[in-house]
Amino acid sequence: MSVTLVTGGQRSGKSQYAERLALSLSEHPVYVATAHVWDEEFRERVRRHQERRGPEWENMEEERHLGSLPLAGRVAVVDCLTLWATNFFFDMQNVEEALAALKEEFDRLAAQDATLIIVTNEIGMGGTSDNRIQRQFTDLLGWLNQYVASRADEVVLMVSGIAVKIKN
């Protein structure tokens, strides 16, 4: 079992890096999509991502219970923690409860004998939002990212399409 966390800003190349890494490790990797499709624009984004990946990928969609997916012995890209955390945050409306549930579910996921490549956004590098809900979500994702990074074997920061190894 190994965990690689790939983080960075929006459009930094995180997903493509994760996908290339997965294909270098397996001819038939798994793509785990965590997103809830909210509208047509987002549905189009999902379609473009699926089209880019190609037929060698097995796609699994799961908005919350990642630990229940059959990933043992597989290489899997989990894309992404940000959208996954959003699902818990909006359902629970409480940062502490959502974080506890996310950590518990991540532990179930990481307990599988799988190679996990996990994508997340680094959203805490900008200024402090004047929106209370955004501040709460930034806290939640920051704490979740720290938790996952502390358990990861490798952490990669994507900057303008360039992978910078943070932990290995």
Q: How far apart are CA 150 and CA 31, in angstroms?
A: 23
Is 36 considered catalytic here?
no
Q: Helix, strand, coil: what percent of the chain each, to 5?
A: 45, 25, 30
From residue 93, give the alpha-carbon distance in Å to each of 38, 85, 88, 99: 18, 11, 8, 11
Q: Are strands 58-61 and 115-121 parallel, antiparallel or unpaired?
A: unpaired
Please report, in angstroms and rounded to a whole number, the separation of the first and last CA atoms in the chain.
15
Q: How far apart are CA 25 and CA 82, in angstroms?
A: 24
Q: How far apart are CA 75 and CA 54, in angstroms?
A: 16
User: Annotated catalytic residue: which of 28, 36, 49, 65?
Assistant: 49
Q: How far apart are CA 43 and CA 113, in angstroms?
A: 32
Please identify every residue annotated as catalytic.
Answer: 49
